[in-house]
Amino acid sequence: MEKKKKTNSKFNIKKLFIILLVLTFLTGCSLSSSNSSDNNSESSIDADASKILDNLSNIDTDISSELIFLYTDELTYATCFRIDRYENGYILLSVIDGSRYLCIPDGGDVPNDLDDDIMVIKSPSKSYVAASNVADYIVSMNSIDKILFSSLIESDWKLEDMAQAMHDGDISYAGKYSTPDYELLLSSRCDLAIENTMILHTPDVREKLIELGIPVIVDYSSYEDSPLGRCEWIKFYGCIYGEEENADKAFLSTKKEVESVIDNVSEERQEANLDAKNNQNVIIFYVTSSGMISVRNEDDYLSKMVELSGGSVNVSNINTSNKSSQTMQIEDFYVIAKDADILIYDTTIDDSIKSLSDIVDKNELFADFSAVKNKKVYIFGNSIYQNPMSAGYIMQDLYAILHGESVTDNFYLLS
């Protein structure tokens, strides 16, 4: 008997999620386009994803009469995607926005009675990557050969493997996420486009790619609020590219590095009989083009990395519409940050800062900040947004600057 087509609630949930994102943007979410670039894959849009997270625990696994469900993978840290497995190697990936992707094993057929909203992924080998952080997952799985196109030019890549591949001509520039070269992608038989959530600003681009027969994945790893949650997204892409074993190895390696830092902090506290109240206060920020201050919130994953590395982040939530960051007047920032032990300026957003005087030139109030007076202001060294799998190394550097180091791979002390 032919399976009756189900009424699809996932499609409505997906529409609801996108509406929430758009409403958040329209009601004042900070999108500092003049201060941001494609090489920072952090989306400035944040929605109350917790309203929809429960959706992942209630996925309907009966997606086809031709597929027999086996089990759901248990994820340790990630909360924004889900992996369901079926007989004969079929895998269903579900994401918090309601998107679903069915990975077809080599030699497998596409089920005839799939819900219309499930996107089919068939062993991609010619991908267009417009989410720079995702490239780190793919590189970490030793699958860079499956990337054919990039939304960044060679000089914008901080990942050495990606920059070298573009230099060698193995990966070509195919336009920004908002203006891809459709003709190039189509003529080269691109078989997958991976976007970050900035694509939600240009939904027509996503629709056009799908119309051309190019499946589109929107990456939501930036919605994870823990460093290992973001790292665990490598398992998602391990399923996409058939590299699950390499993905698991890479994840466990990063997990070990992160846990090593956490263990060092714990041992240090025990030896000194200290608790978290004694931690140095660290605040990550930058000045927008309009003179406002964008500050990383306490629940942001970078702030979590600071805390796991032995620091603390004490930021009063003046504007809570955005989970990862908030924008405020300099006077408000002065109140919460003037006594901070360490300030870290996000130069991946604003690279004009080269010295302490450059910060004071932004606003003379900075001269009264303790961190400025004590010369405890750092800037980002490399683009940490392109390196989710380097969480352990970034935390090692955070641990180092909390212990007085002036120069590390990821942070540089201003003078």
pLDDT per position as a tens digit, 6-57: 444 444 545 555 555 544 444 434 333 333 444 444 443 444 444 445 578 8
How far apart are the C-alpha atoms of 308 and 302, rounded to whole Å?
Answer: 10
CB 414 within 8 A of CB 375: yes
Of 198, 170, 175, 202, give the one whose Cα is nearest residue 186.
175
Sign of the Cα torsion 380, 383, 386, 389 reads negative
Tell me the pTM.
0.86
Of 287, 289, 323, give the one whose Cα is nearest residue 303.
323
For residue 42, the model assigns a pLDDT of 46
CB 225 within 8 A of CB 299: yes
CB 412 within 8 A of CB 381: yes
How far apart are the C-alpha atoms of 345 and 331, rounded to whole Å?
Answer: 17
How far apart are the C-alpha atoms of 101 and 104, rounded to whole Å?
Answer: 9
For residue 24, the model assigns a pLDDT of 46
CB 44 within 8 A of CB 29: yes
Q: Six-digit token pair at 240?
A: 């996409």
How far apart are the C-alpha atoms of 314 and 311, rounded to whole Å?
Answer: 10
Cα dihedral 145/150/155/161 (nearest 10):
-20
Separation of first and last alpha carbons in the chain: 75
Q: Which residue has the tokens 């499609």?
A: 11
How far apart are the C-alpha atoms of 239 and 5, rounded to whole Å?
Answer: 27
Give the start-end residues of each E strand in 205-320.
216-218, 282-287, 293-296
pLDDT digits over 61-94, tens only? 999 999 999 999 999 999 999 999 999 999 999 9
For residue 9, the model assigns a pLDDT of 47
Q: Which amino acid is at 75?
A: L
∠ CA 166-163-303 to the nearest 5 degrees?
A: 140
The radius of gyration of the chain's CA atoms, rounded to the nearest angstrom, is 22
How far apart are the C-alpha atoms of 260 and 253, rounded to whole Å?
Answer: 11
Backbone angles phi, psi at 293, to 5 degrees: -110, 125
For residue 67, the model assigns a pLDDT of 97
3-state secondary structure (DSSP) of residue 413: strand
For residue 1, the model assigns a pLDDT of 39
Please report how the helices 391-402 and 301-308 are oriented relative to each other, as an axis angle in degrees rounded to 10.
Answer: 60
Q: What share of the chain is helix, strand, coil (3-state, %, to 5)?
A: 40, 15, 40
Please count the other Cβ atoms lying within 10 Å of the Cβ belonging to residue 31.
15
How far apart are the C-alpha atoms of 102 and 93, rounded to whole Å?
Answer: 6
Q: Which domains does the chain have, with CATH numbers?
A: 9-242 (3.40.50.1980), 271-413 (3.40.50.1980)
Segments of the chain with pLDDT less than 50: 1-11, 13, 22-52
